[in-house]
A and B are shown apart, each in its own frame.
Chain A
Amino acid sequence: MKLTVNGEAHEVAATTLAELLAALDYEGDWLATAVNSDLVHKAHRAEFQLSDGDWIEILSPMQGG
């Protein structure tokens, strides 16, 4: 399945968002995820089914003014 993760193209075997995070070595409870501009709560990642062409954003805390 072809996906875009944080602006970069990926081809992955993962079928759920949780599997994708694990496959790409994202871990930790400080991450927020969105698929196609909709928030996917941490608790829903394991059941969230990805589709070919999905656009995924994975964000974490950083400095801000």
Chain B
Amino acid sequence: MFELFGTPLSSRLLLGTAQYPSPAILADAVKASGTSVVTVSLRREMAGGRAGEKFWSLIRSLGTRILPNTAGCHSVKEAVITAKMAREVFGTSWIKLEVIGNHDTLQPDVFGLVEAARILCEDGFAVFPYTTDDVVVAERLLAAGCKVLMPWCAPIGSALGPVNSTALRSMRGHFPGIPLIVDAGLGRPSHAVTVMELGFDAVLLNTAVAKAADPVGMARAFGKAVDAGREAFGSGMLEPREVAVPSTPTFGRAVFS
């Protein structure tokens, strides 16, 4: 059974909750995907407003684990206080740590990320750091106390899929015992299959499902893709060959003429 921080999870797909056409479609997509972890966020509440209550009530009804994020934070200070506020509201020490370094690419500020990760790990948080595919940064995150790594495979929301499979493969090789979750950049179920076949432990995605023409169907497709990729990884795939090899036995073949 797949586990994160000692918690058994029935699915290797973590799903975001943003950008769905409606709350009902979000709920149906979560169910169709089979996910057992959804990501959520925090924003300013209007005076007298109850938007947060409605959303929180919906999320609790799904029965999944909650992974709050620090999306939109551009400094260590912002990320740390947001994480603490998320722990207060959501009642979990799990935190998807984002410290954004570039407005255009939404690339993580890996220097701030390591600093924020150290502060939060020391404070008892289970930190899921949104990082790049840089092995040295990953080592610093582990040294800061992280037990899980979440490298991007392409910029957030880009749907490009794994643009540097070599780096992802290298990461897998460097950290054989660390849960690695590809977070950000996946656009199609085939992308999820690819990274799962590389041996990644799970994927986290949002836009590819939420912005699909049929989010519920796409959620189901991603759920199957993640399972297929994982099973393939564990089943010993053939290496590509440059020559054709007949699959039907040639022994006993009839000869006519």
Listed in ascending order, the chain A residues whose CB lies under 8 Å from chain B are 5-7, 24-26, 28, 30-34, 37-39, 41-42, 57-65
Contact = CB atoms under 8 A, between A and B. Distances in A.
Contacts of B85: 32-34, 39, 57, 59
Given A30-B52, A30-B89, A39-B81, A59 B42 contact: yes
Given A32-B88, A34-B81, A37-B77, A62 B52 contact: yes
A37 B20 CA distance: 31
Contacts of A5: 47
B89 A63 contact: no
Nearest to B90: A61
Contact of A58 (B26, B44, B55): B44
Contacts of A61: 40-42, 52, 55-56, 59, 89-90
Given A28-B53, A32-B86, A32-B88, A62 B43 contact: yes
Contact of B43 (A33, A38, A60): A60
Interface string B60-91: 00000000110100000100011011101110
Given A34-B81, A58-B44, A59-B44, 13 more contacts: A6-B45, A26-B45, A28-B50, A30-B52, A31-B52, A31-B89, A58-B45, A59-B52, A60-B42, A62-B41, A62-B52, A65-B69, A65-B207
Main secondary structure of the interface of B (DSSP, over half): mixed
B48 A65 contact: no
B156 interface: yes
A12 to B, nearest CB: 12
B39 interface: yes
Contact of A64 (B47, B50, B51, B71): B71
Given A59-B42, A61-B55, A39 B88 contact: yes
B171 to A, nearest CB: 22
Contacts of A62: 40-43, 51-52, 55
A7 B20 CA distance: 28
Given A24-B47, A28-B50, A37-B81, A64 B16 contact: yes
The 10 closest A-B pairs by CB, nearest first: A60-B52, A64-B41, A65-B16, A65-B206, A32-B85, A60-B45, A63-B18, A25-B48, A61-B56, A59-B42
Contacts of B47: 5, 24-26
